[in-house]
Structure 1
Amino acid sequence: MFDLGWSELLIIGVVSLIVVGPKDLPVLFRNVGRFVGKAKGMAREFSRAMNDAANDAGVNDMAKTFKTATNPLGSAMDGVKDAAKSMTSLDIKDDPEAAKKAAEREEQRKKIEANTARMAAERKKREAEEALRKAEEMESALKADKSGDGDTA
């Protein structure tokens, strides 16, 4: 607000300490804080009142018109974005055909999920059977090696 640095604040603090005295300095700072708070509140209220007056006068509409005039490509892209939003946010309640299609898509999604889960379970079962078969082969080979070692000894 006043663009004061740390060195300026330090000088102000030392001078106020000398002039006011250490006894009354907290009271002074409290009063200055209240004054600054009230000033900020008044500035905020003034700014809000000015914005409300500008809105009532239609300044925002004029600003939008000037923006459109100065940046036609940007305003065209805003129009495209608005159109895309309106197309993607279909109201299914008003369109029975859209509601029917949405129900069909939901049913197809559920079927796909069920089929995927079934296929994953079958694959896991197949992998488990293969792993069990390999483990049995390795165990039988190990037993054969042990029995073969016993014959040579």
Structure 2
Amino acid sequence: MLDLGWTELLLIGIVALIVVGPKDLPVLFRNVGRFMGKARGMAREFSRAMNEAAEESGVKEATKGFKDMTSSKSLGLDGVENEFRSAAKWDPDSETAKLARERAAEAQARRDALRERKERGAAAAAGDADREDAASSETAPVPDTAPAAGTTASEDDTKA
């Protein structure tokens, strides 16, 4: 219905006091109260009449029938409902969960060990390549392939 707080009621009372006057104010409030009581009674009677008409026409029985037809038992879903309830009670510290955590830890350890082996292998390969470069530079001198200053590659070919 109307949602009036204390501040709204106080404002209405002050305006009524100014407009109606202090002499006629109690009579006005009494009449407003009677009117509100009659309005509530009429609303209650209307609601009751609607409920009775619904009962007479069988609407309640029909709605009950629809609810029964769409229940989980009539659809054969009561087993699914029980499984959902048991899943809600699932204990994350069960044996299966512990085993899954152990397997995940083992897999992570294997990945870490493989990564370390790859890093060591890459470092060893880089060290071998450095050693080979150093050994080859010590044994064989690098020929000077650059042309002499002021000459071109074709002049060098003709001199030879």
Larger Rg: 2
TM-score range, shorter chain: 0.3 to 0.5
TM-score by length of 2: 0.44
More helix by share: 1
TM-score by length of 1: 0.46
